[in-house]
Amino acid sequence: MTETGKEGRRLHLGLQFKFAVTYVLLIAAVLLFLNTYPVLSTQELIFRSKRDTLQSHASLLSSGLAGLEEVTQAGAGQIMEQLSLHGLTQVIITDAHGVVVYDTDQSAQSVGTRCDWPELTTALSQSVDVLHPTFQDGAFQSRAAAPVTVGGEIIGGVALFEYDTDQGALLVDFQRNLRSISLVVCAIAIAVSLVLSRALTRRIGRLLQGIRTVREGEYSHRVKTSGHDELAQLGQEFNQLTTRLQTTEEVRRRFVSDASHELKTPLASIRLLTDSILQADHMEEDTLREFIGDINQEAERLTRITEKLLTLTRMDSAPAASEPAPPTAVAPVIRRAGHMLEPLAAQSEVKLVYRLEEDCLAPCDEDGLYQIAFNLMENAVKYNLPGGSVTVTLAGTREGTVLKVEDTGVGVPAEDLSRIFERFYRVDKARSRAAGGTGLGLSIVQDTVRAHGGTVEARAREDGPGVSFIVTFPLPAGAQAD
């Protein structure tokens, strides 16, 4: 078994053991309570009834004896005959000193001896009735003692003993039945808890195995989920997380391969050009200058690509801002970008037209705004036609601040409109390359806009050829549109 497998099994067993022990302890506590409480309360009920019976017998006997002037054997016998007390095992009648004058158990031959029952001693010394029921050896053994008083003076005592096996047997039976039922319940509960805990830990184990498989880089792995409980939800969440991971990984791989490809192309051109220069015995100065000029151009292209890649990587790794950036005036930034583009526009014979509302603000820093405006306006010039125009509109609307960059250029086919924001995506590779494009400008625009809570979309112009790019920044919190 592998290390991971062993570790998983240990955790699996650990959890299962903990679950099972918890269940069993809980069940044991409940059964212990069920085994003791009903037995004790039944016993207490019987004790109470024994006390009542013995108390009434003792009172009856002592008040009968109180009618005699002196407690004698004959008098006691007479009273006993008159009262005919039922259910008692032994009745002892003594004088005031505890000397037995009458005993129903003649075999004990106790008459004339001192009765040593502690109950009687207490009753005579403290002039109180003493009732003492007990449950021993499967029988209720109850003793009671009471003084016989005449005018406040103790003239004798009575001691009663009841040995009840009938009710004792009932209680023992009750106790035995409860114990048997408890044992059966306990066995069933342990079996059920083992089955349940095994099923639960097996599901957790599957999830754990899934997490490990994905951790090893197998992003296509999914865990099987069934039911609607928390574990099933955990499994579904995990699968969603894995799907996201897989998508991110695919995007990352494509990005890395696209980036290497993009970097390889100018490098290959540079190598080809330098090889040609090195291998030529005699090269004319004009040709040499042309070659070196080409090398310079490819090096510039490399610089542009790496700069944009760096910008994108920085944005990817920047933590999401918890608060929106302070509002920045947009119009001056647009003018600055336009100013930088004037030579290119003049060279391409493209006119820049501005329709700007001066007081428009956007929750974006100045560098970000410049990236957005410059990239959109540069594209609008780059992919334009001689004699064409670029119109930049800035307006405050109900939705927020809207920046629109429209051109009269070559346009983008409808099927490519949604893809032009992808990294390295170019509609016309040759044209982009000729215009010094990298395929990263619109990705940077989209990432920057989104990082500041805005949206960007590209639409084909309705009133002619060309594209219009619309950037919308939300209104600052609390601001009201007019």
Q: Which stretches of the chain bind ligand ADP, using CB under 6 A?
A: 375, 379-380, 383, 407, 409-412, 420, 425-428, 432, 437-443, 467
Give least dist CB 355 to ligand ADP, A: 18
Which of 99/460 has CB closer to ligand ADP? 460
Which of 18/431 has CB closer to ligand ADP? 431
Q: Which residues pair with 361 in a beta bridge?
A: 329
Which of 54/381 has CB closer to ligand ADP? 381
Which of 61/352 has CB closer to ligand ADP? 352
Give least dist CB 265 to ligand ADP, A: 13
Give least dist CB 381 to ligand ADP, A: 8
Give least dist CB 481 to ligand ADP, A: 29
Q: Which residues pair with 130 in a beta bridge?
A: 145
Q: How many Å apart are CA 374 and CA 340, to the nearest integer? A: 8
Which of 67/413 has CB closer to ligand ADP? 413
SS3 329: strand
Give least dist CB 264 to ligand ADP, A: 17
Give least dist CB 375 to ligand ADP, A: 6
Which of 16/432 has CB closer to ligand ADP? 432
Between helices 73-83 and 3-65, what is the axis angle to 10°?
A: 110
SS3 113: coil
Which of 31/412 has CB closer to ligand ADP? 412
Q: What is the DSSP string of 386-452?
A: TT-EEEEEEEE-SSEEEEEEEE-SS---GGGTTTTTSTT--SSHHHHHHTT--S-HHHHHHHHHHHT
In angstroms, the Cα distances linking 114 to 70, 96, 127, 336, 454 are: 17, 11, 18, 126, 109
Token digits of residue 31: 């059964």
- Asked if 95 contacts 155 with a C-beta cutoff of 8 angstroms, the reply is yes
Q: How many Å apart are CA 15 and CA 11, to the nearest integer? A: 6
- Asked if 142 contacts 46 with a C-beta cutoff of 8 angstroms, the reply is no
Which of 390, 416, 400, 404 shows the shortest CA–CA distance to 454?
A: 400
Give least dist CB 417 to ligand ADP, A: 9
Give least dist CB 378 to ligand ADP, A: 8
Q: What is the DSSP string of 87-100?
A: S-SEEEEEETTSBE
Which of 400/409 has CB closer to ligand ADP? 409
Break the chain down into helix, strand, coil percent, rounded to 5.
Answer: 55, 15, 25
Give least dist CB 364 to ligand ADP, A: 19
Which of 1/430 has CB closer to ligand ADP? 430
- Listed in sequence order, the residues at least 6 apart from 159 whose beta carbon sits closer than 8 Å to its beta carbon are 91, 92, 93, 94, 115, 117, 119, 120, 123, 143, 144, 145
- Asked if 114 contacts 128 with a C-beta cutoff of 8 angstroms, the reply is no
Which of 440/475 has CB closer to ligand ADP? 440
Which of 205/411 has CB closer to ligand ADP? 411
Token digits of residue 148: 């016989």
C-alpha of 341 from chain center: 54
Give least dist CB 223 to ligand ADP, A: 39
Give least dist CB 307 to ligand ADP, A: 12
Give least dist CB 294 to ligand ADP, A: 20
Residue with tokens 């928390």: 230
> Assign residue 440 a region: left if phi > 0, alpha if psi is -120 to 50, beta otherwise?
alpha
> Assign residue 279 a region: left if phi > 0, alpha if psi is -120 to 50, beta otherwise?
alpha
- Asked if 351 contacts 380 with a C-beta cutoff of 8 angstroms, the reply is no
Q: What is the DSSP string of 19-55?
A: HHHHHHHHHHHHHHHHHHHHHHHHHHHHHHHHHHHHH
Which of 93/341 has CB closer to ligand ADP? 341
